[in-house]
Amino acid sequence: MTFLHQKFLLSCLFMSIISQLSKVSSRGPIYKPPSVEQLTNRFPSTPFSGKMSTFFGASNIHMKNNGSYADIILDKKTGSGLVSKDRYHHGFFSAAIKLPMGDTSGVVLAFYMSNSDVFPNNHDEIDFELLGHEKRRQWVLQTNIYGNGSVKTGREEKFYLWFDPTQEFHQYSMLWNTHHIVFLVDNIPIREVIYNQVSSSVYPSKPMSLYTTIWDGSQWATHGGKYPVNYKYAPFVASLGELKAEGCLMSKTNSTSPGSCLKSSTLLTSDPVEGDEYIKLTSQQTAGLKWARSKHMFYSYCKDTSRYKVLPPECRA
């Protein structure tokens, strides 16, 4: 083999490697996630059919494996969603989700807590929103919270995922207690909202239901509606599994005051996620949080000075 031939082959190999790297890293560098505690392993999975009921779009909800898994579907006729049969004062809530493939611009998959049905003018929310994108597989993850009807101030943060969410199931989890709210993806904390004097007035505090929905967010989800849902690619199917909803249940006959917690029909003296191990992040989780925010967060309301001439108080604390 001549030197020129060898040089040509090496050049071709190099270009091939670069091409492959550009395909898998079109959203930027690919970073290996750190090792963290598997918080989801502490809580049992429960069937969707036992914990959830139809919120809307019954014809587009398909239970599988005796209700352990569920598909929720968006098509031109309707979206769909599930809502928990119980309300919770606090708890740990998680689901494994596999998102629709292909052109999903304008499609929104939400996994969230809310009490807007009971407190329409003073409601609380803790939100995961997965936003479809005009580029294939480029889903964006948005988190948000509202407390006591504080909807005039959006507290969004947005992240690029470090994996293709359409190929496999990935876990999206929320830990909520009186100390902090933690958003986790595959057990890696990506956001922590700490309860303190500054955040207390906008901290979710009233009992909430758990929801998961898929719907058409064309008007706002991608660049203000520039790329609406293209129903040529419908149906958009999101698959759900490994539901975990463990926490302090609101009594069916009691008021919204926490008092004692109900869990599996057994009266408890405290919330199941109020123990010492849930008060603050471990050093490993803190390292994971720093990794996610430094490598994958691309928007935070606390840095949006064009939107807020005066930043919300927690941003200035």
Q: 36-251+263-316 sits in which CATH class?
A: mainly beta
Tell me: pLDDT of 64 over 90: yes
Task: Sketch the domain layout of the chain as residue ranges.
Answer: 36-251+263-316
**Sequence letter at residue 215:** W
What percentage of the chain carries pLDDT values higher than 90?
74
Predicted local distance difference test score (pLDDT) of residue 198: 94
Q: Residue 91 — pLDDT band, cuts 50, 70, 90?
A: very high
Tell me: pLDDT of 25 over 80: no
Rounded Cα–Cα distance for residues 209 and 55 (Å)? 11
Query: Please, are residues 242 and 96 in contact by the beta-carbon 8 Å criterion?
Result: yes
Predicted local distance difference test score (pLDDT) of residue 1: 57
From the list 37, 125, 157, 242, the catalytic residue is 125
Predicted local distance difference test score (pLDDT) of residue 316: 85
Query: Please, are residues 131 and 217 in contact by the beta-carbon 8 Å criterion?
Result: yes
Active site (annotated) includes residue 168: no
What are 173-183's pLDDT values in tens digits? 999 999 999 99
Tell me: pLDDT of 313 over 70: yes
Predicted local distance difference test score (pLDDT) of residue 151: 93
What are 49-63's pLDDT values in tens digits? 999 999 999 999 999
Q: Residue 6 — pLDDT band, cuts 50, 70, 90?
A: low
Return the HEC string of the chain: CCHHHHHHHHHHHHHHHHHHHHHHCCCCCCCCCCCCCCHHHHCCCCCHHHHEEEEECHHHEEEEHHHCEEEEEECCCCCEEEEECCCEEEEEEEEEEECCCCCCCCEEEEEEEECCCCCCCCCCEEEEEEECCCCCCCCEEEEEEECCCCCCCCCCEEEECCCCCCCCCEEEEEEECCCEEEEEECCEEEEEEECCCCCHHHCCCCCEEEEEEEEECCCCCCHHHCCCCCHHHCCEEEEEEEEEEEEEECCCCCCCCCCCEEECCEEECCCCCCCHHHCCCCHHHHHHHHHHHHHCEEEEHHHCCCCCCCCCHHHHC
Q: Residue 280 — pLDDT band, cuts 50, 70, 90?
A: very high
What are 165-218's pLDDT values in tens digits? 999 999 999 999 999 999 999 999 999 999 999 999 999 999 999 999 999 998
From the list 129, 157, 246, 274, the catalytic residue is 129
pTM, entire model? 0.88
Predicted local distance difference test score (pLDDT) of residue 3: 52
Q: Residue 10 — pLDDT band, cuts 50, 70, 90?
A: low
Tell me: pLDDT of 24 over 80: no
Mean pLDDT of 87-104: 95
